[in-house]
């Protein structure tokens, strides 16, 4: 049991690292695209913001740990299968430079492994629909709308100001908006791993109530920060250059819009995708120029990767659990 528990903890922290590694694009793509900061500077700023995100509650952790599948079955074996299945799909999409949601591949992994372990009855369908599916669909749409109107307001308000002066001011402001987005990114994504670790500790009797230990909070945020520092440059390229071209005031709009959504969903306990939110924000900003300014062909590939995240991760995790139990 101890070896299984240690391995489950190790792979959980690795998943947090991988989350930061691939999701570095979410927090730094816009500030790199506008050339406000160099890549290394942007990554360091983002890593610090991700770590500070630990001070913003555990509502999302509770949703993941107790609201997706029955917490009574979250054993080390189940968690290992769920995370391996999630990582397989995540690595495939990372290889092709497609930004997918670690939130949704993790949820898919839990659903798949949980189904393999105890059948469909352990899946909290209503909770998944209310707190995962509906926010998954609506969050990028809301991000597009908010970013579009926020950017349009800035354009209209500063219509008579010289472009050089505008971009000079917004180069400074974008540093703050990028940091703000990194903080909200950290508090959203680290909590997902915190939730499954806490549920597993309850399963093995190390905890009696769902209170996330401090060492789990610090460990998950530290691993996401380290992952962000090393960065996933394939996805940065897609997010920073292939969706649309950005200027500093547009980068500021995208980051601020995304951070407002993520801070709200974190308080509500909705495990939304930071990838979906920032992608939607970038699309909304790009659409203020003209619809053709957004590369919708690239966007279509991203959306398909999103749609497949939960079912593909569930399928991989289902079979990994069966294989794992056969071996053990």
**pLDDT given for residue 37 in this prediction:** 77
Sign of torsion over alpha carbons 92, 79, 190, 231: negative
pLDDT digits (tens, 9 = 90+) for 31-70: 777 777 777 777 788 888 888 888 877 899 999 999 999 9
Q: How many helices and strands (H and E) does the chain possess?
A: 13, 0
**152: burial class by Cβ within 10 Å (0-12, 13-18, 19+)?**
middle
**pLDDT given for residue 243 in this prediction:** 46
What is this structure's pTM? 0.87
**pLDDT given for residue 230 in this prediction:** 78
pLDDT value at 237 more than 60 = no
Q: Residue 229's CB: how many other CB atoms inside 10 A?
A: 18
Asked if residues 212 and 126 have their Cβ atoms less than 8 Å apart, the reply is no
Choice between 74 and 230, residue whose per-residue pLDDT is larger:
74
In angstroms, rounded to a whole number, what is the distance separating the alpha carbons of residues 57 and 55? 6
pLDDT value at 164 more than 50 = yes
**pLDDT given for residue 292 in this prediction:** 55
pLDDT digits (tens, 9 = 90+) for 243-252: 456 778 888 8
Sequence-ordered list of residues with C-beta below 8 angstroms from that of 262, at least 6 positions apart, any chain: 181, 184, 185, 187, 188, 272, 274, 277
Mean pLDDT of the chain: 84
Alpha helices by DSSP H, listed for 134-289, are 134-157, 163-203, 214-230, 233-237, 248-268, 274-287
**pLDDT given for residue 297 in this prediction:** 52
Confidence of residue 20 (pLDDT cuts 50, 70, 90): confident
**pLDDT given for residue 250 in this prediction:** 82
Please compute the mean of the pLDDT values over residues 246-274 and round it to a whole number.
88
**Token pair 């391996």: residue:** 84
What are the boundaries of each domain within the chain? 2-320
**pLDDT given for residue 302 in this prediction:** 63
**pLDDT given for residue 157 in this prediction:** 85
Please compute the mean of the pLDDT values over residues 282-286 and round it to a whole number.
83
**pLDDT given for residue 234 in this prediction:** 52
Determine the Cα angle at 93 with ends 76 and 233, to 5°: 105
Lowest-confidence segment of 46-50, 92-96, 117-121, 189-193 by average pLDDT: 92-96
**Token pair 């380290």: residue:** 226
| CA distances from residue 99 to 186, 236, 239, 253, 254 in whole angstroms, order as listed | 17, 9, 8, 20, 16
In angstroms, rounded to a whole number, what is the distance separating the alpha carbons of residues 220 and 208? 21
**281: burial class by Cβ within 10 Å (0-12, 13-18, 19+)?**
buried
| CA distances from residue 38 to 41, 87, 107, 155, 193 in whole angstroms, order as listed | 5, 29, 34, 26, 30
**pLDDT given for residue 226 in this prediction:** 87
Please compute the mean of the pLDDT values over residues 69-85 and round it to a whole number.
94
**162: burial class by Cβ within 10 Å (0-12, 13-18, 19+)?**
exposed
Helix (H) or strand (E) holding 276: helix 274-287
In angstroms, rounded to a whole number, what is the distance separating the alpha carbons of residues 6 and 12? 10
Confidence of residue 228 (pLDDT cuts 50, 70, 90): confident
Token pair, residue 303, equals 């959306």
**pLDDT given for residue 233 in this prediction:** 52
pLDDT value at 3 more than 80 = yes
**pLDDT given for residue 155 in this prediction:** 85
**pLDDT given for residue 305 in this prediction:** 67
């Amino acid at each position: 049991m101890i070896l299984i528990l240690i391995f489950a903890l190790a792979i959980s922290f690795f998943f947090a690292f991988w989350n930061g590694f691939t999701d570095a694009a979410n927090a730094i793509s816009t500030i790199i695209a506008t050339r406000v900061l160099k890549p290394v500077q942007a990554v360091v700023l983002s890593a610090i913001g991700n770590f500070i995100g630990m001070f913003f509650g555990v509502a999302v952790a509770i949703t993941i740990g107790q609201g997706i599948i029955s917490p009574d079955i979250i054993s080390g074996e189940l968690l290992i299968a769920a995370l391996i299945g999630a990582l397989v799909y995540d690595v495939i999409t990372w290889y092709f430079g497609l930004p997918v949601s670690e939130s949704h591949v993790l949820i898919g992994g839990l659903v798949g492994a949980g189904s393999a372990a105890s059948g469909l009855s352990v899946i909290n369908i209503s909770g998944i629909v209310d707190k995962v599916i509906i926010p998954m669909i609506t969050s990028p749409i809301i991000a597009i709308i908010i970013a579009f109107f926020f950017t349009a307001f800035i354009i209209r308000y500063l219509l008579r100001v010289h472009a050089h002066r505008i971009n000079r001011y917004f180069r400074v402001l974008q540093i703050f908006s990028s940091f703000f987005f990194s903080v909200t990114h950290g508090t959203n994504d680290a909590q997902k791993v915190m939730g499954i670790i806490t549920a597993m500790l309850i399963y093995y009797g190390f905890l009696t109530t769902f209170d996330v230990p401090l060492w789990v909070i610090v460990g998950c945020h530290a691993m996401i920060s380290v992952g962000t520092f090393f960065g996933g440059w394939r996805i940065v390229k897609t997010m920073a250059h292939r969706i649309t071209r950005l200027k500093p005031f547009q980068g500021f709009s995208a980051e601020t819009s995304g951070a407002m959504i993520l801070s709200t969903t974190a308080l509500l306990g909705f495990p939304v995708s930071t990838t979906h939110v920032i992608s939607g924000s970038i699309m909304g900003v790009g659409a203020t120029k003209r619809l053709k300014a957004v590369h919708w062909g690239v966007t279509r590939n991203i959306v398909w990767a999103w749609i497949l995240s939960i079912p593909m991760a569930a399928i991989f995790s289902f079979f990994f659990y069966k294989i794992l139990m056969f071996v053990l």
